[in-house]
Structure 1
Amino acid sequence: MTARRGGGPTMQDVGRLAQVSAMTVSRVLKDDPGVSEATRERVFAAVDRLGYRRNQTARSLRLGGSGMIGLVVTNLANPFYSRLALGVQEVATEYGFRMLLSNSDEQADREPGLIDGLIDHQVEGLIVVPSGSRQQHLAAAMRHVPVVLAARPPAGLETDCVLVEDFHGARGATACLLAEGHTRIAFLGNPPALYTGAERLRGFWAAHEEAGIEPENALIRQGLVDAATAEAATLDLLRGSAGPTALFCTNNRISQGAIRALYKTGTTLPLAGFDDFDLSDVLGLPLTLVSYDADEIGRQAARLLLDRLGLQDGDPPAPRRVTVPTRILRHGIA
């Protein structure tokens, strides 16, 4: 069975045509005896009319299972992970599943316990944003349930994942600053051990190489974990004798810390970075932001997981990698 990738009818489409909820469609496909015969007939008529793949979907619901999938994110306070979770929940609900959510708080030593706890609660599959590069505990979990990774790739694992165009997004945003004549661009990044931090630095560096400009190592700050550390790093750069003429930030929290530092020092510099954020278009600052659909990362991860759950026979497909595209937004730039 292949999960819907955006082209075919959904369970919600069937429900609208049959004038029932998506949950009722799910109950019909699971042969729930509590559904009336008249409702059952309407649902199956809608399934046939729309060409909805009812047999495969019914298999994907894994009759007799718990009907739950687990999601582990690294920082629920970050709006990115909240949106990702909403995307997972949207698809899980569409297919009659419930979602159990855990937050590792970027603590790699905490993640194995969260994974074990979700498996103990009999989740049928897991979607995980890994908090580090050591993923042996995920290999152990895969002996019990399918696992899909989101936002960060597998390390030594053979499993599906959903990623963002980190390299291309960073290269594109940096290129915008370089095209405006900036040759002293500061890089404010999260820990280099994280895939996103490494890929976004690689994109930043590639844009410089393509422009024939050497980035200044003295303007590169890595290992920033929140707005406070980003603010401190930015203040340090601004107080230097040869400060930057523009900033590149690798995520929304780092951008917010950098903006606070600019405000405190009364400085206006162009800033480029990953993640759009609320009120970015009304700050009056020259901003170049790499935007993408965080909900879609969750939706794609959930579809990959439900696809795995629907495989009852035959050889499973090779691990798949889905990439969510980025786009450049520009605010406060004439």
Structure 2
Amino acid sequence: MTDQADGSATGRRPTMIDVARAAGVSLKTVSRVANDVPTVRPALAERVRTAMSDLGFQRNSVAANLRSGRTTGTIGLIILDLANPFYSTIAAAAAEVAERFDTQLITASSGWDTARERELVLDLCERRVDGLIIACTGGDQSYLDEIARGTPVVFIDSPPSGPRSDMVLLDNRTGTRDLFRRLIAEGHREIGTITDTLNDFTMRERLAGAREALREAGLESGRHAARIYSDRPRSAGDAVGAMLDGPHPPTALFCGNNRILLGAVEELVRRRSRLRLAAFDDFEFAPLLPHPVTVVSYDTRALGRLAAEMLFQRIGSPRTDPSTYVIPTYLIDRGTMIADTG
């Protein structure tokens, strides 16, 4: 096989021209094979397909643009849950950056499913997007070396397992540690925690921050702990009820995210409880919650904006070393106590 001007050598994605050079055929032949035109001799078609496989070439649904040397003018964003305001805010911020670069943002949701995440990456790469932003699941992303070879990728909110890439992350550990330090400074020694799946990097980091603060104060970690296996707020409410009805109820409660917080507030209001409440994740209607709560807040839009800006920078400079940007957090008091009229 002849010399290959492929993406691995140049830092760019392989094109039809690279395939034609590697297979020793004309560009027209490569185009016919890529578009499944049946007039190409089987042996010749097989040679072209072998070159495509060796180079990591993906079928181009907008080949006319690439042949003229233009990009597709699209980038992909794979998030975990379109219904969650956290991710919709990220998508909106990323779309604004894409618009500045005269680029369309294609958004899809993996639903926390690693197999679905891989399918979406493959689909977007087949569409020849110019780059990808991925909020990854807890699985292994090493498949990107095969599927997305040459496609710039930026990871958001959670680091990948496998490839070295640009990342934009939250300072989950510091935010939670600062929150627990405040609760301890207020005199709380029995602090309950409610979390969901520990397969999630962000939740593991938040728990790590909590444990650091408890260790600093010489307090026991995990005495009042519950994990819920559903994202329904009612599941969190049930967990709160079980803690409060136990023989040694906590004096303060930490909710690992805003969905858990909603369930906790519902239960506390139902019981007319004044339990000290804290949580990770601020959100638009948090000031209206009918129970005081201290939340770990941050600039959600900055996550999407910085990820998109890093992606376009990576598209323009594909050979620079990967970088990581960490979004800082801060504490803010939300909600209000409704007067007991009973």
TM-score, scaled relative to structure 1: 0.76
- 3-state SS in 2 of match to 1:277: coil
- On the 8 A contact 1:168/1:203 being kept in 2, the answer is yes
Q: Which residue of 2 aligns with 1:329?
A: 332
Task: Give the Cα separation in 2 of the matches to 1:139 and 1:329.
Answer: 41
Report Cα offsets for 1:275-305 as digits up to 9, x if no partner.
Answer: 1123322335231111111110011111111
Larger Rg: 2
Report Cα offsets for 1:138-186 as digits up to 9, x if no partner.
Answer: 3333304111100001222111110001000000111111111111111
- On the 8 A contact 1:126/1:148 being kept in 2, the answer is yes
Determine if the alignment matches structure 1 residue 69 to structure 2 residue 67: no
Determine if the alignment matches structure 1 residue 279 to structure 2 residue 282: no
Trace 1:287-302 onto structure 2 (pairs within 5 A): 287-302=293-308
Q: Which residue of 2 aligns with 1:259?
A: 265
- On the 8 A contact 1:289/1:328 being kept in 2, the answer is yes
Q: Structure 1 residue aligned with 2:310, among 289, 304, 314?
A: 304
Trace 1:119-198 onto structure 2 (pairs within 5 A): 119-198=125-204
**Corresponding letter in the other structure for 1:201:** L
Q: CA deviation at 1:331?
A: 3.1
- On the 8 A contact 1:224/1:254 being kept in 2, the answer is no
Unpaired runs of 5+ in structure 2? 1-67, 338-342
Q: CA deviation at 1:63?
A: 5.7
Which sits farther off after the overlay, 198-207 or 130-139?
130-139
Determine if the alignment matches structure 1 residue 221 to structure 2 residue 226: yes
Report Cα offsets for 1:66-109 as digits up to 9, x if no partner.
Answer: 10000000011111101111111111111111100001111222
Q: Rate the CA distance shift 1:208–1:272 in 2: closer, same or farther, 3 A.
A: same
Task: Give the Cα separation in 2 of the matches to 1:77 and 1:187.
Answer: 25
Q: CA deviation at 1:135?
A: 1.3
Task: Give the Cα separation in 1 of the matches to 2:327 and 2:69.
Answer: 31
Determine if the alignment matches structure 1 residue 317 to structure 2 residue 323: no
Task: Give the Cα separation in 2 of the matches to 1:301 and 1:207.
Answer: 30
- On the 8 A contact 1:146/1:305 being kept in 2, the answer is yes
TM-score, scaled relative to structure 2: 0.74
- On the 8 A contact 2:130/2:151 being kept in 1, the answer is yes
**Corresponding letter in the other structure for 2:234:** A
Q: Which residue of 1 aligns with 2:101?
A: 95
**RMSD, aligned α-carbons:** 1.9
Which sits farther off after the overlay, 206-215 or 227-236?
227-236
- On the 8 A contact 1:186/1:220 being kept in 2, the answer is yes
Task: Give the Cα separation in 2 of the matches to 1:132 and 1:151.
Answer: 12
Task: Give the Cα separation in 1 of the matches to 2:307 and 2:147.
Answer: 17
Task: Give the Cα separation in 1 of the matches to 2:146 and 2:189.
Answer: 48
- 3-state SS in 2 of match to 1:132: coil
Q: Rate the CA distance shift 1:277–1:251 in 2: closer, same or farther, 3 A.
A: same
Task: Give the Cα separation in 2 of the matches to 1:197 and 1:179.
Answer: 23
Q: Which residue of 2 aligns with 1:50?
A: none
Structure 1 vs Structure 2: percent identity of aligned residues? Answer: 36
Unpaired runs of 5+ in structure 1? 1-61
Report Cα offsets for 1:107-142 as digits up to 9, x if no partner.
Answer: 222111111111122211100000113212333333
Q: Rate the CA distance shift 1:253–1:295 in 2: closer, same or farther, 3 A.
A: same
Task: Give the Cα separation in 2 of the matches to 1:284 and 1:223.
Answer: 23
Q: CA deviation at 1:332?
A: 5.6
Q: How many residues align?
A: 269
- 3-state SS in 1 of match to 2:137: coil
**Corresponding letter in the other structure for 1:285:** H
Q: Rate the CA distance shift 1:144–1:212 in 2: closer, same or farther, 3 A.
A: same
Q: Structure 2 residue aligned with 1:117, among 118, 123, 140?
A: 123
Q: Structure 2 residue aligned with 1:205, among 207, 211, 222?
A: 211
Q: Which has the higher contact order (CA 8 A, sep 6+)?
A: 1
